[in-house]
Amino acid sequence: DAGVIQSPRHEVTEMGQEVTLRCKPISGHNSLFWYRQTMMRGLELLIYFNNNVPIDDSGMPEDRFSAKMPNASFSTLKIQPSEPRDSAVYFCASSFLQTQYFGPGTRLLVL
Amino acid sequence: RKEVEQDPGPFNVPEGATVAFNCTYSNSASQSFFWYRQDCRKEPKLLMSVYSSGNEDGRFTAQLNRASQYISLLIRDSKLSDSATYLCVVNGGNPLNRDDKIIFGKGTRLHILP
């Protein structure tokens, strides 16, 4: 089993650019979560999907952030336009019966 | 009161010692509890689930106190490799959703000293 796959692993971009993060959950897992982690704020839940349907997006910081899950094997988190304060590690996790398995994360740096 | 609260530490503990830390949660309806471990610059990984009767996995013991709404993690005979951040995790308490939102604490940093 490949585990949760995220891409890219690292992203450096300039303020104002669009950033797209990708996630492939573990096959058979019916929930998918997007998190953001910084030293100051810890691990923050941004949004989660259950059976491809967004259930709770209250953690999405603002309209610049959007997430989609078009099918059970793929999700994207998009930031447009990006800002320096968006710099963080973004984790995707999938779960089955409440045990979460995390991907390796995407380290985003917005200059 | 925060949903899930942990002492951020760091706990600096000599190798071989026993260390314990607690985590409090605010939602009395929460049903599932976990400890995750996160190494520096890595993703969080499940360490162990926490069962109502308490459970043990080798040197690690987890306990749940529903009355006081806290869970604990005890590490015996600590090793250098136990150095990590330990995250307390509690589910959102929605009995209708088996994959309910899961809430992470900010973690407790543990340093095992040689």
Q: Enumerate residue ranges in chain B where pLDDT < 70.
A: 1, 92-100
Per-residue confidence (pLDDT) for residue A98, from 0 to 100: 76
Per-residue confidence (pLDDT) for residue B99, from 0 to 100: 53
The whole-angstrom separation of Cα B22 and Cα B6 is 7
The verdict on a CB contact (< 8 Å) between B97 and A105 is no
Provide the token pair at B43.
Answer: 């993703």
| Residue with token string 């304060």 | A85
Residue A94: closest CA among chain B residues belongs to which residue?
A: B99
Per-residue confidence (pLDDT) for residue B102, from 0 to 100: 79
| Residue with token string 């995790």 | B89
Which residues have CB under 8 Å from A58's CB, separation 6+? Answer: none
Specify whether the CB–CB gap between A2 and A98 falls below 8 A: no
* Total residue count of chain B as it appears in this document: 114
Tell me the pLDDT tens digit for each residue of A35-63: 999 988 889 999 999 999 998 898 898 89
Find chain A residues with C-beta within 8 A of B88's C-beta.
none
- At A1, the amino acid letter reads D
Q: What is the mean pLDDT of residues A4-27?
A: 97
The verdict on a CB contact (< 8 Å) between A99 and B42 is no
Three-state DSSP state, B81: helix
Find chain A residues with C-beta within 8 A of B93's C-beta.
none
Provide the token pair at B3.
Answer: 């949903």
- Residue A85 pLDDT greater than 60, yes or no: yes
| Residue with token string 């400890």 | B35
- Using a CB cutoff of 8 Å and minimum separation of 24, what contacts does B76-82 make? B76/B18, B77/B16, B77/B18, B78/B13, B78/B14, B78/B15, B78/B16, B78/B17, B78/B18, B78/B19, B78/B112, B79/B15, B79/B112, B80/B15, B80/B112, B80/B114, B81/B112, B82/B110, B82/B112
Size of interface A-B (CB pairs under 8 A): 53
